[in-house]
Structure 1
Amino acid sequence: MPDITLTMIIVLCLVAAAAGWIDAVVGGGGLLLLPALLLGLPSHVPYTHALGTNKAVSIVGTTGAAVTFARKAPVDVKVALRICLAAMAGAAAGALLAGSIPKEAMMPVIMVVLLLVAAFVIFRPSFGAVPVDGPVTRQRMIAAILLAGVGIGLYDGLLGPGTGTFLVLILTGLLRLDLLTASATAKIVNAGTNAGALVVFAFQGAVMWQLAALMAVFNLAGGQAGARMALKKGSGFVRMVLLTVVCALVLKLGWEQWA
């Protein structure tokens, strides 16, 4: 473990708990966790080590939340696993490319997408309120595998923040799920993206395992609390948190890009 003060370790653990809660409800915990690691780790630690440690922490909380959701929410596990396998491959490819693509080049595109998402959710209050009846077509299923699996997996391996949020929106729109079920399904897929990227970062020696293990305990606790609260309060609560996280992501990325 690099030379980190006890105070900073405590701060990182508390941030990990908050990130776990956000991830479990609607995704976007990387909005807190990755910047905290980048700020808290010594300046000589490579960027990829922050990414790798972030994945090692996140996979614990995400997997725990996925198990909790799968037990109590109406999740189609077979569909979730199909997308999850594609996401693992996409995330592994993204992790291999991490550092080769300047993140500054991607930020404006991500911000535009997030603003469109926020506007859509605000002006379509019925979006994700209830599931749409009827079977999902083969075309929609393939689109979900490509977008939510390969596409978002690739993004998660490259950068990460907002992955769960993007997954919830894509799954709601393409598979016609309500927000609660989409959030539950996204946890299974997100566990796959974390696993795919983590394998690559671990092979590269870019994971600080001792710090990650400590933070993962808090991330798991936060994830369990968030999953139970989402199950209890339903899609309306998830929609409120979704809008909050999207707005926070836009502000954060805007600050990084132009401040």
Structure 2
Amino acid sequence: MITFLIVCPLVFLGGFVDSIAGGGGLISLPAYVMTGMPVHFAIGTNKLSSAMGTTVSTLQFARSGYMKLKLSVVTILAALLGSFSGARIALHISDYYFRIILLVVLPLTALYLVFNKKALKANSFSEDVVSKQVWTSVVIAFTLGIYDGFYGPGTGTFLLLCLTGIAHLPINLAAGTTKVINLTTNVTALSVFLFSGKVLLVLGLTAGLFGIAGNYLGAVYFKRGGAKIAKPIILVVLVIFFVKLIFDFIK
């Protein structure tokens, strides 16, 4: 019962954050770890609850018209190829080097958000996407797919920032594309953990219901507030991620 009381509220919060700005795993995964369960079971069970919640937010974004079929398909394929490549690289290189890079990238990203008034406001809310934006999005999906397969935390946040800041996608389409990529990689990873027997089904399904509620509310809030909501939440996620990295180094 204590495990459920620890995990479920934090999965709800993680789902809310993830639906708006990505990075919900930085909240939900530590919740599982805090209960003392083995790490592989924590990761696998978190994948189950995360996939359930992400499915709901993805459907919400799709119903709101925040996805383009062609854009979604090509970025999913690019992310899967990148994720596979990143996982293969991870077999030979320590994630220590990625963490070092992130100690520099995270503060710079936060400064970019604070001082760039146009951040997360690319073309406001729109449905128009040109060929250059599609191919730039493919490169971003592949590159961050490598990161996701190699290390992973904060992938959704980085996707949203890059799709708006580099590919210049409208904030609505960037958020929708981020969701569909995240859902694909979550389900792929979940299948591996299920096959390996590393998922606590009762806990994961129960927490997943809380994740669904959090993701649903987050999608509703995003639809109402857009970038005004996403920007401060992303800053909070980046700070949490940065603190976690430092803690990982000193522990």
TM over 0.5: yes
Q: How many residues align?
A: 249
* Alpha carbons of structure 1 residues 77 and 180: separation in structure 2 relative to 1, 3 Å: same
**Cα deviation 1:123-179 (Å, max 9, x = unaligned):** 2111222418975344x533422332x332333344432111011012112331233
> Which among 130, 141, 146 is matched to residue 136 of structure 1?
130
Instruction: Quote the residue 2:140 is aligned against.
Output: 147
Q: Which residue of 2 aligns with 1:170?
A: 162
Task: Give the TM-score of the pair, scaled to structure 2.
Answer: 0.87
Which position in structure 2 is the counterpart of 1:55?
A: 47
Give distance in 1, aligned partners of 2:79 and 2:197.
Answer: 22
**Alpha-carbon distance change, 146 to 206 in structure 1, aligned in 2, over 3 angstroms:** farther
Tell me the C-alpha RMSD between the 2 structures.
Answer: 2.4
Structure 2 residue matching 1:175: 3-state secondary structure: coil
Which sits farther off after the overlay, 85-94 or 161-170? 85-94
TM-score by length of 1: 0.85
Task: Give the drift of 1:9.
Answer: 1.7
Partner of 2:240: 248
Percent identity for Structure 1 against Structure 2: 33
Structure 1 position 234, deviation (Å): 2.0
Kindly state the Cα deviation for residue 119 of structure 1 after the two structures are TM-superposed: 1.5
The verdict on how the C-alpha distance between 1:60 and 1:99 changes in structure 2, with shifts beyond 3 A counting, is: farther
8 Å contact from structure 2 (residues 75, 181) kept in 1: yes
Partner of 1:38: 33
- Evaluate the alpha carbon distance shift between residue 89 and residue 184 of structure 1 in structure 2; reply closer, same or farther with a 3 A threshold: same
User: Match of 2:98, SS?
Assistant: helix
Name the counterpart of 2:185: 193
1:232 Cα deviation from its structure 2 partner: 0.9
1:116 aligns with 2:108: yes
Runs of 4+ deviating beyond 4 Å: 92-101, 132-135
Deviations, residues 160-214 of structure 1 (Å, cap 9, x unaligned): 3211101101211233123343222211111011122222222333222222111
Checking the alignment, whether the CA contact within 8 Å between 2:129 and 2:169 is kept in structure 1 is: no
Cα deviation 1:84-119 (Å, max 9, x = unaligned) = 233234445556776765444421212222222112
Native 8 Å contact 2:66 2:172 kept in 1? no
Query: Hey, what does 1:80 align to over in structure 2?
Result: 72
> Are 2:54 and 2:183, in contact at CA under 8 Å, matched by a contact in 1?
yes
C-alpha change, 1:179 and 1:251, in structure 2 (3 Å) is farther
Q: Work out whether residues 91 and 157 of structure 1, in 8 Å CA contact, stay in contact via their aligned partners in 2.
A: yes
Q: For 1:141, give the aligned amino acid.
A: V
Structure 1 counterpart of 2:199, which letter? V
Provide the C-alpha distance between the structure 2 equivalents of 1:112 and 1:173, rounded to a whole number of angstroms.
18
Measured at CA, do residues 39 and 101 of structure 1 come closer, stay the same or move farther in structure 2, by a change above 3 Å? farther
Which ranges of structure 2 fall in alignment gaps of 5 or more residues? Answer: none
Instruction: Tell me how far apart the structure 2 counterparts of residues 85 and 37 of structure 1 sit (CA, whole Å).
Output: 30
